[in-house]
Structure 1
């Protein structure tokens, strides 16, 4: 018995620190459960329910109506356009900040501003653009009085597809800068020096070395910016109201509107948006993992 007691494996001591770690992530887990997982499940279930609670596919079938298809195509056009220009302009800014030889304080200031601007949306952003580029906005009046350029006569209207796209770029470009900067930092200077040693020009280095390495990160960033624009509703609603029929505004009208109120059709619209944005985010995650593997 004494021999068995001596050879029996002792029970590992209780790790209090590990339990405290799990306790620390509990608020986040509750937040994700209450404000992400459960609402998503409610949307999915309600998409296949009638107002009386019976199962139906009518809500999903009604997504094929012309008005919803047109709104979806317009939202896709807006998302692709702003994601493309956001990626292109943000990439150029990121290259200038990381590899343009600018002072270190300028990079810090730019990244700090980008962190704020990428989260600046909704009613404040809409009001800022109306005060800047509206019919009586500051820039509009200055261009008219100082340079004789009348934006309205040229056909520009802030409350339009073009105006909304320009407004979206305000947070799309800084978001791209924040995403792509770590990838640019991962480009080893030895690669550039080796390319120069072999006689490659700067353009050849970016075309044959840097861009192929950055390609997964660029595609992933495009997917994330697409999802960001496709799901944005507050800015579009505050800027254009119901004058521009995109999916988020139509969703708002179906759930909270006085005339078009049909909550279960709204749930079906939200379910479609979840599928599209979820696919875009999945592409972003997969491409980001691939990009990080390349840059290690």
Structure 2
């Protein structure tokens, strides 16, 4: 059963945890800007000698640009303390000695740049026609590159029917890898009016069309933690994941053997916490929860 953070519980957490892993969107900032009190909390933890790492499913920036954004907002984070899915995906392909081409559904200046950095060729980021006159015209102009051995899907604001058709066609070949950066369905924004679809909504039609499930690069897959474990020698029993989503951040913590804290400044709600695990095994129950990061920070 999740416990709301109190001063007493916060002191127990500080005694048990050496390494704090933070999600970014919905925890440190959202689409409107920085979330009040988050920077101060991070600085307090660092002053106590705690290691702080940022682990984001966002694929819109390279690792280097993600670090620069953090530093611009006042977070003193170095490259080894920042993991994002655009970098993890390229690193994964490099680690398995991938030699084909990648059909990329995602931004050229982030995911494409990370693939370029490890010498992996890719296609797919060029614009596709938004309107298809007929299926006959569509198929007549559809040429598949036989060198494509992987379809990699991230957040793509230009995703359309033609890209969906092309990606699905490549995935008809069972030898073509199917990778996704993250399963998040919505971007974290506190609004009663707007709903902003995320990468999971781009992956879903490809899953339905092909009957295949992607290998996830980001949370809740343990890939990111394994990188941090190798670089920093982390002991998961002395780590806490702090995030705003039960189905990615908190499940990630569970999959890696870490402690977890949910903040309610993003996607998941206190009602979600109360029902977590009871009816949906994909939504893990956190050890602790707080209204926002500052609500924990006031006790640090």
TM-score scaled by length of structure 1: 0.24
TM-score scaled by length of structure 2: 0.24
| Bigger helix share | 1
For CA contacts below 8 A with separation 6 or more, give which structure has more relative contact order: 1
Larger Rg: 1
